[in-house]
Amino acid sequence: VELAGTIVELAHEMLRGEFRNIDTRQTRVVLIEAGDRILPNFAPELSDYASKALERLGVTVELGRPVTRCDAEGVVFGETHLPARTILWAAGVAASPAAEWLGAAADRAGRVLVEPDLTVPG
């Protein structure tokens, strides 16, 4: 989410002034989210606010369709093929499965609980 907003600002503000040979009118930033809203770990009101803020910046937000293919021709999500020459993939946030295979205590997000010196208890 943060990356999409930053890239659209860079493309439409910085590149236009610094790289005049790049046609920024051809730049499109599309945020594809498999779920029904972006930032699902936040309150729905905040997700909605972020989505609208991105759209005001010029980001296209696509919800409810997971990416099923990504190749040199573009991205496929749902029944849609989005032609693209540059793809930045920033999928999901998940903890390492280390807590499980270590048998260590974890928080509700699955992150290993550690001591102040970053060692695993026990």
Catalytic, 2? Answer yes
Largest CA distance in the chain: 59
- Catalytic-labelled residue, pool 2, 18, 79, 115: 2
89, amino acid identity = W
Structure tokens at 23: 């046609």
Q: Is residue 92 classed exposed, middle or buried when 0-12, 13-18 and 19+ CB atoms within 10 A define those classes?
A: exposed
Active-site residue list: 2
